[in-house]
Chains A and B, each alone.
Chain A
Amino acid sequence: MAYKWEIRLSGTGGQGVIKASVILAEAALIDGHNAVQSQVYGPESRGSATRAEVKISDSKILMPKVVVPNILLCMSVQAFNKYAYNISDGGLMILDGDIGIGEEPPRVQVHRRPIIAIARENMGDELYANTVALGLINKIASLVSDDSMFESLERNFSARLLAANIRAYRLGLEAASHL
């Protein structure tokens, strides 16, 4: 059973891909869709391969996990090597920097942006890369309305971090429109 959006966000523990997936799934709920969010990670809190998954649909979502995503984000070489060849034909692949150059799988739409560098250079901290990635993905795929995303950011970040994350999200939106 295929759901409308089956999204896999992959990277390294500590990059915030789980947090990004939570924000995206909650935004989808606010938008009036159904959504489930799950993750796979190791016993370590940082440094291991991490993947987070979101399914978005207007029907009831039963099996919660993503088997073959139609959107895949890779934020580390390790994650690319593990997940890059498991994506549906015509799927969207979003890659950070020069990850997997020349090794992109066929029949996918590859969008490559310096996500981590954008966070580092504009926000002064790579930790914002997950929110930059959210803006980028949402601009490319139009998953949820920006209003719902802002509401979700507000629900998922403390007041202290909200403004910076909204800025990071907007950087992601802008990054989608130019190379």
Chain B
Amino acid sequence: MANVRLVQGNVACAMGALAAGSTFYAGYPITPSTEIAEHMAVALPKIGGIFLQMEDEIASMGAIIGASCTGAKAFTATSGPGFSLMQELIGYAAMTEIPCVIVDVQRPGPSTALPTLSSQGDVQQARWGCHGFHSIIAIAPSSIMEIYYQMINAFNLAEKYRTPVIFLMDEEIGHLRERFELPDNYKPEIINRKKPESDLEVYLPYINDQSNGVPPMANFGDGYRYHISGLTHNEKGFYSSVPSVVDTEIRRMVGKIEDNVDDIAQFEEIGAADCDILVIAYGSVARSAQEAVETMRADGLSVGLLRPIVLWPFPTDYFTKACIGKKAVVVAEMNLGQYAREIRRVVHTDIPLKSLTRVDGEFVYPDDIIDAVKEVL
């Protein structure tokens, strides 16, 4: 058992970032995410990386965007109040297509609310927190090992799609400690951003000729001279207000994520295909949901679990198909129904949907979910 360790979720997050090749962290500590900063502050100097404690979360986002421009795999971690502050620059990273990872260990809100308790209240903020036309990737892990592996995936997706990726943890999973054990000789698959192969003079940082909509990205110092702007821009990166240029660029930026939803989406299903009642839950709440579903299945009830691991982009077709023929769908989450609203949008109107909500900082327990299922049975 020498390789088995008890590891906290926040620490597993930091370890996953390091395994993904992250060499840059900038952040402003906030409960319940602080252990991520603490771990990176110790680990990064040892590998020649950089840890910066910034004056606030706005500056933290600015720092990781700048670091990413130099080629570093950069991330920050925060909770609700800091996540709100980061939104403008998350939009900037989306607009300028600069890869980065933002960890949000959710706590109840709005404002400072309940700093040490758990919540899933930022699900829609992760999707729509910054203004304007953009898409986003958001991942919600449910266990300590999944945090580690999905943090590597978060960096890979950020690089592959040149986009900010939101790593949406919650206090419960961030502060939970459980078994951490890697297979012998484990080596993660690492994806790096595609570099330009063109001559130095003809590089187009926002070129629209790639099949998956993701242009190659030159790092500062590679020798390519180009312009980065939050203004709508043409393929060269310079400001443009020409409607056809703006339309093409915005639709490419959104499409590179939305059109690749099948590549990005990940789920876990337990008896979801042939059950009468489908329970949908994610993050820490999915653990209660699985326990509830297994208990009910052992009692002979026709109940299944569908656990989205990637919350955004939203796989509309998948959810629509998964809910066909169900007697009812139950969505359990620690908010007022943010993901239930999305599921309701795509499920046939004849199928009842029960939104199980919780906003008092307490956990959603298996019995809560069993009660909700029995209501719709």
Further pairs besides A29-B1, A40-B117: 8, Cβ < 8 Å: A1-B295, A29-B5, A30-B1, A36-B176, A37-B6, A37-B178, A42-B116, A63-B287
Cβ A38 vs Cβ B1 within 8 A: no
Q: Number of A residues contacting the other chain (C-beta, 8 Å)?
A: 25
Residues of A within 8 A of B (CB): 1, 22, 25-26, 29-32, 34-43, 61-65, 67, 155
Which 4 A-B residue pairs are closest in the complex by CB-CB distance?
A26-B6, A62-B291, A37-B177, A36-B178
Interface flag for B175 (CB, 8 Å):
yes
Cβ B1 vs Cβ A39 within 8 A: no
With A1-B295, A35-B179, A42-B116 known as contacts, the answer to whether A62 contacts B290 (CB < 8 A) is yes
Q: Can you list 16 residue pairs at the A/B interface with Cβ under 8 Å?
A: A32-B1, A34-B178, A35-B179, A36-B178, A37-B6, A37-B176, A37-B178, A38-B175, A38-B176, A40-B116, A43-B115, A61-B178, A64-B178, A64-B284, A67-B367, A155-B5
Contacts of B288 in A (CB 8 A): 62-63
How many angstroms between the C-alpha atoms of A42 and B107 in the bound complex? 13
Distance of A35 from chain B, by nearest CB (Å)? 7
Contact of B175 among A25, A29, A34, A39 (CB under 8 A): A39
With A26-B5, A26-B6 known as contacts, the answer to whether A62 contacts B294 (CB < 8 A) is yes
Greatest chain B CB density within 10 A among A1, A32, A64 is at A64
> Which A residue sits closest to B31, measured CB to CB?
A43
Interface flag for B249 (CB, 8 Å):
no
Greatest chain B CB density within 10 A among A30, A32, A63, A155 is at A63
Distance of A147 from chain B, by nearest CB (Å)? 11
> Which B residue sits closest to A25, measured CB to CB?
B6
Contacts of B16 in A (CB 8 A): none
Contact of A38 among B5, B177, B365 (CB under 8 A): B177
Interface flag for B47 (CB, 8 Å):
no
Distance of A66 from chain B, by nearest CB (Å)? 11
Contacts of A63 in B (CB 8 A): 287-288, 291, 365-366
